[in-house]
Amino acid sequence: MYYFEFGEDKKSWNFGAKPLPFSSFQFGNLIITDEELMADLRKASKCNAVLEADIAILGVSVNDKKYKRPANPATCMIADAKSGMMLKCELQQPEDDTIVSLAEELIGFIFQYGAPKEVRVSNILVEAGVQQICQICGIKLRRVKKLPIIEEFREGMRRFM
């Protein structure tokens, strides 16, 4: 990171590059503990779908009387990589846990259409959120650099904001 700070002598300025103040980010995997849900997921039928799953922060201010300050909402998105169709795009409330919401959306898809053949994600946080579901259902979980369907949808949304 680039820094600009007051020197120790309090009379001069120091500036330059230095490492970020943290070296790693600790995050927890989403763990399902409901035995009945896990048993139902194990028994879920299979389908040939390949899904893209992601969470995106919209980057826009939303004013709502419920909150003291403007919110910057997130969306949970699931797309069909084969057809190019957006299947789900749920706007989240500031107090919502977006990883849990995305996992719930994926579980809803599995119960309605069957376990997809593959789920593609673009970052480790989303991967951690759906990893257990994919393991239970025998879904291939792949982290990729780009999610083309979701990126195209986001770009379309940006044009309207």
pLDDT tens digits for range 28-80:
678 888 999 999 999 999 999 999 999 988 777 777 777 778 877 889 999 99
Q: For the residues 75-103, what does the mean pLDDT come to?
A: 92
Predicted TM-score (pTM) of the model is 0.78
Domains of the chain: 28-160 (3.30.420.230)
Torsion on CA atoms 160, 54, 59, 64, rounded to nearest 10: 90
CA distances from 92 to 62, 89, 141, 158 (A): 12, 9, 24, 17
**DSSP labels for 3-17?**
EEEE-TTSSSEEEEE
Task: Answer with the residue of higher pLDDT: 124 or 18.
Answer: 124
What local confidence, expressed as pLDDT, does residue 70 receive? 80
What local confidence, expressed as pLDDT, does residue 31 receive? 86
